[in-house]
Amino acid sequence: MTAAALRRQLTPADAVVVGVGSMVGAGVFTIWAPAAAAAGSWIILSLVIAGIVAMCNATSSAQLAAQHPESGGTYVYARERLSPFWGHVAGWGFIVGKTASCAAMALTAGNYIWPERASTAATVAVVLIATINLGGLSRTALVTRIVLAVTAATLIIVVASSTVLEPSIAQSNSPLDTNAYGILQAAGLMFFAFAGYARIATFGEEVIEPDRTIPWAIPRALGAVLVLYLIIAVIVMTSSSPSEISGLVAPLAFIVESSALSGVSWLVAIGAGVACFGVLLNLIPGVARTTLALARRHELPVWFSAVSAQRALPLRAELAVVAVVIALIHTVSLTSALSLSGVAVLTYYAITNASALQLENSERLWPRWIAWLGLGGCIVLVLALPWQVLICGTAVLIIGAAARSIALRRMS
């Protein structure tokens, strides 16, 4: 009996929307304070470094996705180009990192929309997103367009507010000391705001003409988001001092509240919450499809490999991801969720670049040195993260590798 297949239905425009919608979310509303605390007035340099590393990773993802157009992303690429072990590390890292990111996004939405009941609001958001996704990716792309429109309107309010700031705010100028380590640590934190472009690649079995669409869509989505982040970074850094920014929970809301447009500051909270929903809209299906890929190769229970013939969706995998995210929402803090995500995601992209280095010249769309730069950048950024985060993330990756080893021995 032939297994049910996923349906190719995402157009090039849909793919770009999915990529942008996966990036422009909670990151643009939350990364500025921790980044300013680490990098001080050099925050824009940190953003550029994070953007360069992300662009290198994006080109590697695009080239590999064109050669291996199936669900699973780097889990599949590393298995084919490196070894099954590195494929498992990448897949496990993606699942762990992005599941934690889902919980972080949901909690961020809850904190903005209903701070007194953040966990409850976050749970409702995840259930709502799951319901939309069960309607199929074509509906996901449509809703993502709506979410992007709301997010864009929110950022327009922030930009407009920056032109009518109170003089005492706009002229604030107290610096923060930093060094090269602080700049790199801020870049590692800001990478979180870019880590959605590869969502396009995880939908390899559902994109129309993936060998052309994916390499076309990923760099365009990332480039558009980088330009947007640079604009917002300039606004944030010229609106207040790094020391003041570092102490703010919601810097963009602060800009609006400190301007002549303070009466519409509540719209920023709503826009931030909606943007988080946009990230969840694409992140949860991406994690589910990587779970599907691991289960197909018996590195997770085969039960998760089922694809609904009626809906052409991996329902079991997606519902399992939703259940785990809801459990995390009620058991861990926002900071803990982000900490767990950091090391795992950068490790995933390091393996992506290592896999791209194995491509033949005839398979390349970009020079080999870009993959080398991406690999080195991922290693540097992950090592620049706080040591507590590094130890925690490394421990989780080791646990996953050990569990795989035990499972293979039992199968033998």
Q: Percent of the chain at pLDDT above 90?
A: 14
Instruction: Give tens-digit pLDDT for 236-259.
Output: 888 777 877 877 767 787 888 777
Look at residue 1 in the predicted model and tell me its pLDDT.
Answer: 39
Cα–Cα distance, 225 to 15 (Å, whole number): 14
Residue range 354-377: average pLDDT? 91
Look at residue 283 in the predicted model and tell me its pLDDT.
Answer: 81
**21 contacts 278 by C-beta, under 8 angstroms:** yes
Q: Residue holding tokens 């609006």? A: 256
Domains of the chain in start order, with CATH, are 12-406 (1.20.1740.10)
**Minimum mean pLDDT among 81-90, 170-179, 382-391: which range?**
170-179
Look at the chain and count its residues: 412
Instruction: Give tens-digit pLDDT for 300-314.
Output: 777 888 887 676 677
pTM attached to this predicted model: 0.80
Look at residue 349 in the predicted model and tell me its pLDDT.
Answer: 93
pLDDT of 101 > 90? The answer is no
Look at residue 356 in the predicted model and tell me its pLDDT.
Answer: 93
Instruction: Give tens-digit pLDDT for 106-163.
Output: 887 887 788 788 889 889 988 888 887 776 655 556 666 777 788 888 888 888 887 7
Residue range 386-395: average pLDDT? 85
Q: Locate all alpha helices (DSSP H) within 68-204, ordered by sequence.
A: 74-81, 84-113, 118-133, 137-162, 167-170, 180-190, 199-202
Q: In angstroms, how far apart are the furthest CA atoms of the chain?
A: 71
Look at residue 279 in the predicted model and tell me its pLDDT.
Answer: 77
**Does 293 or 5 have the greater pLDDT score?**
293
Cα–Cα distance, 113 to 132 (Å, whole number): 20
